[in-house]
Chain A
Amino acid sequence: MRSTIARLGGVVAAGTALVLGLAACGSGTEEASPTGAQNGDGVTTLKIGFMGDLTGANSALMIPPSQGAQLAVDEFNAKSTKVKVELVKYDSQGNPDQAVTQVQQAITQDKITALVGPGFSGESRNVGPILEQAKIPSISASATNPALADNGWKFWHRVVANDDVQGPAVAEFLVKAKSAKKAFVIDDAAEYGAGLGDAVAKGFESQGVKVERDKIDPEGSDYSSTVTKVKASAPDVIFFGGYYAPLGRLLKQLRDGGVTAVVSSGDGSVDQALVEGAGKDAAEGAVLGCPCLIPFGSDVPELKTFSDNYKAKFGTDPLIYATEGYDAMSAFLKAIEAGNTTSEKINEYLSTIDFKGVSKQIKFNPNGEIAASVIHIYEVKDGNVTWLGDTSKAQLS
């Protein structure tokens, strides 16, 4: 009995697939959309993915851009009648291997048209070749490893400046602000952290600052050997390349160990969770550089509108990479608005795109890099991460 039903089910399924296939062929003549699905009202629905660490250890960096992308999609769907966009979220947990499995699922099962992300550099490196082969355009709102742009990928873009810009800019700013003679650069020995650490160390050295290095295990918790090294070296500034979770633990142990030098880090650490991890006292005065623009209550009109809309929708202020996530998605949506509904056409449009985004002017270089490279400086003041302005304007307290 069971086998009969199963067989019957199979026949029905095959029949349905056939009918759907025919329907797809029928509509395909009018508007070539191999990845879009059309319903009876002639509305095309395109799926755009978002990939990043949504529940993992560094999810605080990825939830804001996913919400920024969601906001852009919702605004688009509210006014667009012909084409609707569906946002599909992929939680890679920041794991490069998991990202590969998920992007394959996104391409073959979900048939996404474009992808915002992946969020981190490690996963971007793994996912890039697969998207390239499938000819699906991607825009990362947050992956900053410089080498990503050297792969010759035609479908890859990002809306943030890379660490080659971030590193020297942060180093130069710290040397100027703290008149540093000796620096200690620590990193987490991973794709993003080590790259940023190297770039900052190079930046310091080019300013004539003496640099010592050490590396920590981002999964570990006992950093006493690093604290001992830092203390023996007595630097004026300390820079950490890596994410906020290990930095919180390191910062706490540095301060407990009696190290008073200013501690700085990059975009992976610009988050309120840093203050929670390190404790309010240890985190105070930490300096963070970021190619990202976090409004933090700014009254610039466009930023304020964005913040208000974001808060109304999600109940929280837009945090790290929220504006960039919004801009990355907006670039795709602008391409769709201009009548492009296939992955390849959208990608073609991206090469000519030029509009004023929330975070910056969105215009890509031929290698996928953003044309406008700006680095912003933040400082922990009274237990709150505060925006000080870009590197040319920021003043430490």
Chain B
Amino acid sequence: MLNDFINQVGPSTVGGLASGAIYALIALGYTMVYGVLRLINFAHSEIFMIGSFAALFVINLMGITGPLSGIALVGTMLLLLLASMAASGGAAVVLERVAYRPLRRRGASRLAALISAIGASIFLQELFALVIIPEVFDRPSQGRNQVPVPRLFDRETVFSIGNTDIRNDHLFIIVAAVAMMILLDVFVNRTKIGRGIRATSQDPETAVLMGVNIDSIIRTTFFVGGAMAGVAALLYAMEFENLRFNVGFLLGVKAFTAAVLGGIGNLRGALLGGLMLGLIENWGSIFFGSEWKDVIAFTVLVLVLLFRPTGILGESLQRARA
């Protein structure tokens, strides 16, 4: 058993960090929206899914079928990043406008918004399964099957530590995710819009009195959270090279867990929670087998919440910062 652990701990850590980075990017969307609205946006998993298909759409449009390298690769990646961020961010804004704002305006309860979110989630999944995948991606009557994504760059081992090979794709995911987090952290903590977001999450009424345009702040929050899911979507499409209409479901549950684990409403908590969840899953499966990884992850979640009900970095809910 210990021998297994020593043999597998290195590769498991790399795999865990890579999946954790993707969880963390998606978790940001949950945590930001929760911060300003005290609402769990359960359609966020579909925002992710839309971003991943947007990336595939551009890949098909550009006629890419095999691995790229050099300038072409960098240019393509930037373009894909832009496309998936715009698609996910845009979809999140539309979702807010269509599914949440009308309810908010009428003073509906948060439960109503939750039902609206679940409805939007099912609507978007079925829209892709029944219309968009068969029609736009030209796979008639195969809307529920997986759609392959061509390989964007060759996978190579960049360097090795002991028996652990660090691959370029894993490195890229971890670096890209952490870079995005730092950018977002700066945006929220240093810019005027960021201050508006923080103000709204602390006390919406006072924020309005201080001249913050709440609707615009909420729209921005949805856009930024969506755009982060878009980054995750591109990384996911690139790494796993298979998309499905319900690709967001399981990841959404995991990312939501990561957000709660780290402390929902806290940006750095999302990063910490995501990476921890990825690592716990992969380390746990060394000992107990991969079928136990969800059990282990959720046991840890329950244990953490028993001792810290607001998550690892969470403050008391009333004062949670975005």
- Which residues does A use to contact B, with CB under 8 Å? 55-57, 59-60, 93, 189, 213-217, 219-229, 231-232, 245, 248-249, 252-253, 256-258, 273, 276-277, 279
Contact = CB atoms under 8 A, between A and B. Distances in A.
A382 to B, nearest CB: 17
B21 to A, nearest CB: 12
B144 A56 contact: yes
By DSSP majority rule, is chain B's interface helix, strand, loop, or mixed? helix
Contacts of B165: 258
Contact of B286 (A217, A219, A228): A228
Contact of A224 (B236, B282, B291): B282
B240 interface: yes
Nearest to A273: B145
29 contacts: A55-B143, A57-B144, A57-B146, A57-B244, A59-B144, A60-B142, A214-B289, A215-B289, A217-B294, A219-B249, A221-B240, A221-B242, A222-B15, A222-B19, A224-B11, A224-B15, A225-B290, A226-B285, A226-B290, A227-B11, A228-B12, A245-B145, A249-B146, A252-B242, A273-B145, A276-B148, A279-B148, A279-B151, A279-B241
A252 B15 contact: no
Contact of A232 (B8, B18, B155, B291): B8
Contacts of A252: 241-242
Q: Which 7 A-B pairs have the closest CB atoms?
A: A224-B15, A215-B291, A225-B285, A228-B11, A232-B7, A221-B240, A225-B282
Contacts of A273: 145
B96 interface: no
A226 B19 CA distance: 14
Nearest to B148: A276
A221 B12 contact: no
Interface of B: 4, 7-8, 11-12, 15-16, 18-19, 141-146, 148, 151, 155, 165, 167, 169, 236, 240-242, 244, 246-247, 249-250, 281-282, 285-286, 289-291, 293-294
Nearest to B294: A217
A229 B290 contact: yes
Given A228-B8, A232-B7, 16 more contacts: A57-B144, A93-B144, A214-B291, A215-B290, A217-B294, A222-B15, A222-B240, A223-B290, A225-B15, A225-B293, A227-B15, A229-B8, A229-B286, A249-B242, A277-B146, A277-B148
Given A228-B12, A229-B290, A248 B146 contact: yes
Nearest to B239: A222
Contacts of A60: 142, 145
Contacts, number: 100
Contacts of A215: 289-291
A59 B142 contact: yes
Contacts of A249: 146, 240, 242
Contacts of B7: 232
Given A225-B12, A228-B286, A55 B141 contact: yes
A380 B276 CA distance: 39
Contacts of B249: 219
A214 B290 contact: yes
Contacts of A245: 145-146
B306 to A, nearest CB: 26
A14 to B, nearest CB: 38
Nearest to A257: B11
Contacts of B246: 219
Contacts of B141: 55, 59
B144 A224 contact: no
A258 to B, nearest CB: 7
Given A224-B19, A224-B282, A225-B281, A248 B242 contact: yes
